[in-house]
């Protein structure tokens, strides 16, 4: 179904641009779904895999061997897997509020979200290494958050400057599952809003 939509079946080319494997991280085996993900990639779809939401190094081996276009969360990583991600350049999607709740960081930090985000298991490493990274909400409705709030938490916890946030946002657009023409349109819109002061709120973190 996804491949048919990606090819224009049902009346529009590019209706589906990618697939994302997610779900209960304690159930199932990612290897059972890799053939389907491989077919999706061969059909021109981008592939994201949610991974390492719980500790499972064998599964992480399988995920990195598959080499998806993006990684969701990637929290419980051994040193070898961290180095493989850094060397591969695969972008990582980080969801601060979601991670703070599921990892119980907020409760461990007495409710202080700035302190909690400093305890995040991988975020500081990706930032320090200038690894491709996108900040996301995971599910804005479920977690009662917005992308602006997620960015504010990351900036406060890790001293991310305005310039660095803009750089990361441009990188997120570069790795989005959109066509070249659509990417150019989004990039132009982003840069226009930067010029008009409609993105963010100034030069500070």
Tens-digit pLDDT string for the chain (205 aa): 666 656 655 445 567 899 999 999 999 999 999 999 999 999 999 999 999 999 999 999 999 999 999 999 999 999 999 999 999 999 999 999 999 999 999 999 999 999 999 999 999 999 999 999 999 999 888 889 999 999 999 999 999 999 999 999 999 999 999 989 999 999 999 999 999 987 654 433 2
What is this structure's pTM? 0.90
**pLDDT (0 to 100) of residue 27:** 94
Instruction: Quote the crossing angle between the two packed helices 57-66 and 34-42, to the nearest 10°.
Output: 20
**pLDDT (0 to 100) of residue 123:** 98
Q: Which residues pair with 49 in a beta bridge?
A: 21, 71
CB neighbourhood size of 197 (10 A)? 9
**pLDDT (0 to 100) of residue 4:** 66
Q: Which residues are within 8 A (CB) of 97 and not within 5 positions of it... i.e. 6 or more apart? A: 137, 138, 143, 145, 149, 150, 153
Tell me how many degrees the CA angle 44-91-22 measures, rounded to the nearest 5. 70
**pLDDT (0 to 100) of residue 199:** 67
Q: Which residues pair with 94 in a beta bridge?
A: 135
**pLDDT (0 to 100) of residue 202:** 43
Q: Which residues are within 8 A (CB) of 129 and not within 5 positions of it... i.e. 6 or more apart? A: 86
What is d(CA 115, CA 106) in angstroms, rounded to the nearest whole number? Answer: 8
Q: Which residues are within 8 A (CB) of 101 and not within 5 positions of it... i.e. 6 or more apart? A: 143
**pLDDT (0 to 100) of residue 139:** 87
Q: 92: helix, coil or strand? A: strand
The answer to whether 79 touches 135, Cβ cutoff 8 Å, is no
**pLDDT (0 to 100) of residue 186:** 97
Active site residues: 53
């Amino acid at each position: 179904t996804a491949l048919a939509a990606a090819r224009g079946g049902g009346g529009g080319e590019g209706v589906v641009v990618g697939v994302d494997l997610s779900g209960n991280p304690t159930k199932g085996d990612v290897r059972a779904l890799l053939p389907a993900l491989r077919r999706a990639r061969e059909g021109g779809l981008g592939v994201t895999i949610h991974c390492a939401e719980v500790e499972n190094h064998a599964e992480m081996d399988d995920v990195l061997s598959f080499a998806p276009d993006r990684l969701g969360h990637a929290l419980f990583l051994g040193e070898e897997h961290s180095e493989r991600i850094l060397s591969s350049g695969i972008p990582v999607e980080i969801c601060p509020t979601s991670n703070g709740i599921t990892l119980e960081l907020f409760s461990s930090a007495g409710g202080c979200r700035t302190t909690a985000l400093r305890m995040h298991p991988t975020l500081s490493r990706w930032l320090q290494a200038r690894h491709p990274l996108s900040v996301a909400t995971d599910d804005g409705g479920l977690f009662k958050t917005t992308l602006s709030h997620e960015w504010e938490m990351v900036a406060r916890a890790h001293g991310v400057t305005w310039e660095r946030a803009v750089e990361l946002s441009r990188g997120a657009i570069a790795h989005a599952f959109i066509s070249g023409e659509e990417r150019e349109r989004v990039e132009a819109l982003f840069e226009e809003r930067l010029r008009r002061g409609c993105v963010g709120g100034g030069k500070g973190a």
